[in-house]
């Protein structure tokens, strides 16, 4: 079984998120999604409109997602990859090169983002702070 993992906040879920999850799941047999907790977002200086528990609940309902875990810190990725026997780490290409240190543990793939949509753009359009 090929296991894939990805990370994100997944706030204000949109088409770009679904496309990322669909393409990530197509790379393997099992997709784990690590979702930034509210506390970790605060450390990053971000504020999610939707609570961690609600974002987790929504992601668990998506057919491409097999498991949802909390992302509590930047440095948990190696442990997550090792502990969950991950074969492929996937992120959007806006993170190109940032997670290459994981190549010692698994394959690292950066997928192209969906043009014209992002949570930041939605928040800006609605006048909601990022």
Q: Which residues are tagged catalytic?
A: 44, 46
Query: Which token pair is 122?
Result: 């939605």
CB atoms < 10 A from the CB of 74, how many?
A: 10
Residue 34: C-alpha distances to residues 55, 91, 123, 128 (Å)? 11, 11, 22, 24
How many alpha carbons lie under 13 Å from residue 74 in its C-beta half-sphere? 6
Query: Which token pair is 19?
Result: 């496309």
Query: Which token pair is 99?
Result: 């997670």
């Amino acid at each position: 079984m090929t296991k894939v993992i990805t990370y994100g906040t997944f706030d204000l879920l949109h088409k770009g998120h679904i496309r990322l999850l669909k393409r990530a799941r197509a790379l393997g047999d099992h997709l784990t999604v690590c979702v930034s907790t509210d506390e970790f977002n605060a450390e990053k200086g971000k504020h999610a409109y939707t609570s961690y528990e609600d974002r987790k609940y929504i992601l668990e309902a998506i057919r491409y997602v097999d498991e949802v875990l909390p992302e509590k810190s930047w440095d948990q990725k190696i442990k997550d990859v090792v502990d969950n026997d991950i074969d492929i780490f996937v992120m959007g290409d806006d993170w190109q090169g940032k997670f290459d240190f994981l190549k010692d543990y698994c394959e690292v793939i950066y997928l192209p983002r969906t043009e014209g949509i992002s949570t930041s753009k939605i928040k800006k359009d609605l006048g909601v702070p990022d």
